[in-house]
Structure 1
Amino acid sequence: MQDEKLRYFSIEEMVALPTYMGLAISPDGGKVAYVERLTDWDKNRYLDLVWSYDKTSRQRVLVTSDKNGGSRPQWSLDGQQLAYVSSVEDDGEHKPQLFVRSEEDGRTVQVTTSKDGIGSYLFSPDGCGVYFLSQRPNEALKKRKEGYGDIEYVDVDYGRQTLYYVDLENARQYNDRFSMPKSLREDEGNRAEARLCVDRSDLHILEFDVSPDGQTIVFSAAPSPNFEDMSQYALYRFDVATKEVVHLHTGQLEGRIEGQVAFSPDGESFVFTHRTGDGKMFRNNALVIYHLLSGEIQSLPVDIDEQLSVVAWTEAGIVIQWQNRTNRWIERIELDGSRTSVVTGDGVQAFGASVSLDGHAVAYIQSTGSLPLDVYVDGHRITDLQERYTAHEVSERRVVSWQSRDGSEIEGVLCVPGDFDSSKRYPLLVVVHGGPTWASFPSPTQDKYYPIEQFIERGFIVLLPNYRGSSGYGEAFRALNERNLGIGDYEDVVTGVESLVHAGFADPERVGVMGWSQGGYISAFCTTFSRRFRAVSVGAGISNWVTYYVNTDIHPFTRHYLGDTPWRDPEVYRKTSPMTYIEQAATPTLIQHGDKDSRVPLPNAFELYQGLKDVGVETQLVVFKGMQHGSDKPGWNRAIMHQNYAWFCHHIFGDPLDAFWL
């Protein structure tokens, strides 16, 4: 009897697939906490749940409830307390607050009540308290709002983060009050409040670490949270006993510091990263050791042509993550620059690493060409997303390469059906990733914007190009679209299409392109600059660099890539803007955008939409009310995917557009 043919995921099933994040391995390596993101259709939300997994018993325990869930778990040094962040309602607003669970009795208490919620946090080494970041209260702003209404002085009214400490025993004693009737409780004034540590109104703290003896904290800070101040990041030391804050001088590295800091096991040094060269965001970064006693700076000779992310400084060395083409690896680095593999290999993509104090136990999220992103601990898989994929038909992923017009080698991922026939010509769709410093990987899809598996089932093949600027291919490759955005990127996309046409299995008359964010910008460029495509979808994309520059919340991004402001170099803004070529546009274009998007503000969408209408090109703009730069609601993801599916099937296969209207 022949096996029944497996079916592809539906769009709703794809949206509802769980994703994993927020890994935290206990210091002794015996337990792992992780976050599972689930879909709550009834409340139209994604719900994050914290799980705890015991390596010895191989049992997992749900730590958080399904009411508010939780995220960002972290263990105390002795492994007897597990903290996490959960949303708490206060005066109609939900803010992230810290909760701590005792492993001994399973009791969980809320330990912060910050009006603005909390950012990153760390247990004190003795386990008696927690340091966390939160905004400084600003009574002047509160009084101004009460007297005059909600007014903002742009580039003045900043909410700067600073460092606080909360005593856990005091927090537990306060929570004990609620086990008594209200009439018997002690006065509310006994409530345990967090203690302000760094009393500096001129600093916005980004990241921090606590020394193993608990006596010193190092942190990175900028004058404000404004992205313009990224070039003024600096390092500081905070003495826990004296409360003294000291600026740590880094000489010629000033102005190129990044946020990452991590103490050495002996507490005498810490590692940080800085951008190399001119400090632009697409440059490599480098690892540097700061010796606290001498103030000496020691650069590590790491032979990796990529951007590095520090996981931790362990007894076995500094653990880093980095991307090698379409692989993502975890390695340990010694002070002489020598490297030891932790999780590597061709076809391996490892994310979100967490390591034990000795550096030998590691938890991570891993995918390969045939297996989806599951949680692993020391090579052992502890979640079960793989089982869901093996019960469905899934596209095959192949790494392909081609030459762009200027001779640059471009890689991409080609998605084809299991019964792919290279002698047949397939309609082709191109899905362009965002970033630009990100990449597409040859692993099973979890895309919640574009229905790749449904496209494959319908008869398409799908190309995911890692165009110039993508991560994983070195600094020179990331810099190729400097002052050449859109133009060089377009050439990488269209030559990828041509290579598949030349290979004989892509139909040159039935090609579409889509993308979100930077991918949306490249798609917008495709719709105005080219007539290669039958249909285009622009998600949260830039249409005019001047419009973008004056509206976005990250102005330095534009100056780093285009080289200057539009007032001093209008020509580079003109030639790289899709709107410059609007008169030659001819391709039916779907535009999807959130009305609360501060990264790529909504005027970009309206400008492209009106321009296409004025030149007689079929277009439809869909505005998602309340959505920021990306979707955080399953209903929105479902709508985005159904709209794209209907749009491309209509314009390439002639299907009715009825389903587009949901």
Structure 2
Amino acid sequence: MLLRTFNEKDKSSGFASYDFKRNSLTSLLSGPYRFGYPMKSELANQLLYTRESFTEFPDLWVADLDMNSPTKISEANPQQQEYNWGTNELVTWTSLDGIELTGMLVKPENFDPTKKYPMLVNFYERSSDGLYRHRAPSAGRSTINYSFYASRGYLIFNPDVHYRIGYPGESAYNCVIPGITSLIEKGFVDKDNIGVQGHSWGGYQIAYLVTKTDIFKAAEAGAPVPNMISAYGGIRWWTGLSRQFQYEHTQSRIGGTPWEYPTRYLENSPIFNIDKINTPLLIMHNDADGHVPWYQGIEFFVSLRRLGKPSWFLNYNGEPHWPLKLQNRKDFTIRMAQFFDHYLKGDPKPKWMERGVPAMEKGINQGYELTSPDK
């Protein structure tokens, strides 16, 4: 039997052969790559599979049934050599709870350790297993594109998070913040120009973090849940399923109902600490979101505006949890890049950040034009 293998420590992978009679496993092929599922030829004793890494496009490879003499047979992305792509590496640190953690650090291809770089932090739960995933530039629907930002001089840090039941927000803080400070101590991170970005569960954690720290100069939170109490009483609009289960026992990890643990719901809801936020925020939440009710995004935004906090709200009409239409994905990619470039690189503000986009001008005047530097 041919099996795929994965090393949880260094994130390498490969293939192995399992002998049922001898109950033995023999490694056939392994390395710092991510391998696709192999397919056997009908006419020959050969296997076809893909091999990829952050820097290597998932081209086609062939080998015999024992994975001997692997040969690359395609060259689908030669144009990548024309771009400053970047590299991806595994980093480690210790959480405030004393837990050893891992994460990914993406560096520009021409990285110079004597220089200081702006850094974007992007995370969800645990992503380091995807260390060798190839990330082609594209208009993302909910997250930053690593190769795109690395090619433009950003570092990207994606930390793994270890959660404690009842304290999801605090867990994120205890894992993410020491990961950032450990990189600052290495000397190549511009500590005054760090941004953070995430969507859905990532968006919630970012909303929580900016109530507890001013380490971020700018933040984008997509489809966040700032109020776990009001969200608890809602439904998932696509299915009609009550949202209560996910707060009690699944992703939100509160551990029980609001009547059992009222303090946990309050402490983990950023809405009650919005007055402590000093970080400029870009929020994206769509009005047809079937996962997270978009009134959560509205609740977050209007509270920020009520307190005079710098904040912007993007809503792509008729789109679900993330924009699916290509024109909307492109729009989101452009606006998010302009937002971070302004705060982390000192670029001029685009017009949409100065005056918004009136409803009558939506889709007509995008406001991408940059204002003059003296404004």
Specify the TM-score bucket, using the shorter chain as the normaliser.
Answer: 0.7 to 0.9
Tell me if structure 1 keeps the 8 A contact 2:84–2:151.
Answer: no
Q: Give the corresponding residue for 2:58.
A: 373
Aligned-partner SS, 1:509 = strand
1:357 Cα deviation after fit: 10
Q: Which amino acid aligns with 1:525?
A: Y
Tell me if structure 1 keeps the 8 A contact 2:53–2:133.
Answer: yes
- Structure-2 change in CA distance of 1:557 and 1:372 (3 Å): farther
- 2:153 pairs with one of 459, 471, 479: 459
Distance in 2 separating the partners of 1:484 and 1:389: 43
Q: Give the corresponding residue for 2:307.
A: 615
Tell me if structure 2 keeps the 8 A contact 1:402–1:495.
Answer: yes
Tell me if structure 2 keeps the 8 A contact 1:647–1:657.
Answer: yes
- 2:262 pairs with one of 548, 562, 570: 570
Q: Give the corresponding residue for 1:399.
A: 90
1:622 Cα deviation after fit: 0.3
Q: Which amino acid aligns with 2:246?
A: F
Tell me if structure 2 keeps the 8 A contact 1:521–1:538.
Answer: yes
TM-score by length of 2: 0.77
The answer to whether the aligner puts 1:551 opposite 2:241 as a matched pair is no
- Structure-2 change in CA distance of 1:388 and 1:542 (3 Å): farther
Tell me if structure 2 keeps the 8 A contact 1:395–1:444.
Answer: no
Aligned-partner SS, 2:278 = coil
Distance in 2 separating the partners of 1:330 and 1:576: 43
Aligned-partner SS, 2:109 = coil
Q: Deviations over 1:583-602 (max 9, x none)?
A: 21111000012222212221
- Structure-2 change in CA distance of 1:597 and 1:407 (3 Å): same
Equivalence map 1:204-219=2 (5 Å): none
Higher alpha-carbon deviation: 334-343 or 451-460: 334-343
Aligned-partner SS, 1:543 = coil
Aligned-partner SS, 1:628 = coil
Aligned-partner SS, 1:520 = helix
Aligned-partner SS, 1:624 = coil
The answer to whether the aligner puts 1:516 opposite 2:199 as a matched pair is yes
Tell me if structure 2 keeps the 8 A contact 1:429–1:463.
Answer: yes
- Structure-2 change in CA distance of 1:517 and 1:451 (3 Å): same
Higher alpha-carbon deviation: 552-561 or 612-621: 552-561
Q: Which amino acid aligns with 1:641?
A: T
Q: Deviations over 1:524-546 (max 9, x none)?
A: 22222221111000122322223
Q: Give the corresponding residue for 1:626.
A: 318
Q: Which amino acid aligns with 2:258?
A: P
Identity across matched positions, percent: 24
Q: Give the corresponding residue for 1:590.
A: 282
Distance in 1 separating the partners of 2:99 and 2:112: 29
- 1:534 pairs with one of 217, 225, 241: 217
Tell me if structure 2 keeps the 8 A contact 1:596–1:626.
Answer: yes
> Of the two, which has the highest radius of gyration?
1
Q: Which amino acid aligns with 2:174?
A: E
Tell me if structure 2 keeps the 8 A contact 1:547–1:603.
Answer: no
- Give the total of aligned pairs: 331
Q: Deviations over 1:343-372 (max 9, x none)?
A: 533x22234x255599x8655443224313
The answer to whether the aligner puts 1:649 opposite 2:341 as a matched pair is yes
Aligned-partner SS, 1:344 = strand
The answer to whether the aligner puts 1:493 opposite 2:176 as a matched pair is yes
Tell me if structure 1 keeps the 8 A contact 2:200–2:292.
Answer: yes
Q: Which has the higher contact order (CA 8 A, sep 6+)?
A: 2
Q: Give the corresponding residue for 1:324.
A: 8
Distance in 1 separating the partners of 2:160 and 2:302: 30
Distance in 1 separating the partners of 2:14 and 2:229: 38
Tell me if structure 1 keeps the 8 A contact 2:125–2:160.
Answer: no
Distance in 2 separating the partners of 1:435 and 1:370: 24
Aligned-partner SS, 2:178 = helix
TM-score by length of 1: 0.46
- Structure-2 change in CA distance of 1:503 and 1:563 (3 Å): same
Aligned-partner SS, 2:159 = strand
Aligned-partner SS, 1:610 = helix
Distance in 2 separating the partners of 1:460 and 1:623: 27
Q: Deviations over 1:23-56 (max 9, x none)?
A: xxxxxxxxxxxxxxxxxxxxxxxxxxxxxxxxxx
Q: Give the corresponding residue for 1:344.
A: 30
- Structure-2 change in CA distance of 1:350 and 1:544 (3 Å): farther
* Larger proportion of strand: 1
List gaps (5 residues or longer) in structure 2: 64-69, 353-366, 369-375
Distance in 2 separating the partners of 1:334 and 1:556: 43
1:341 Cα deviation after fit: 4.0
The answer to whether the aligner puts 1:581 opposite 2:273 as a matched pair is yes
List gaps (5 residues or longer) in structure 1: 1-315, 469-479
1:330 Cα deviation after fit: 5.1
Distance in 1 separating the partners of 2:169 and 2:7: 24
Aligned-partner SS, 1:594 = coil
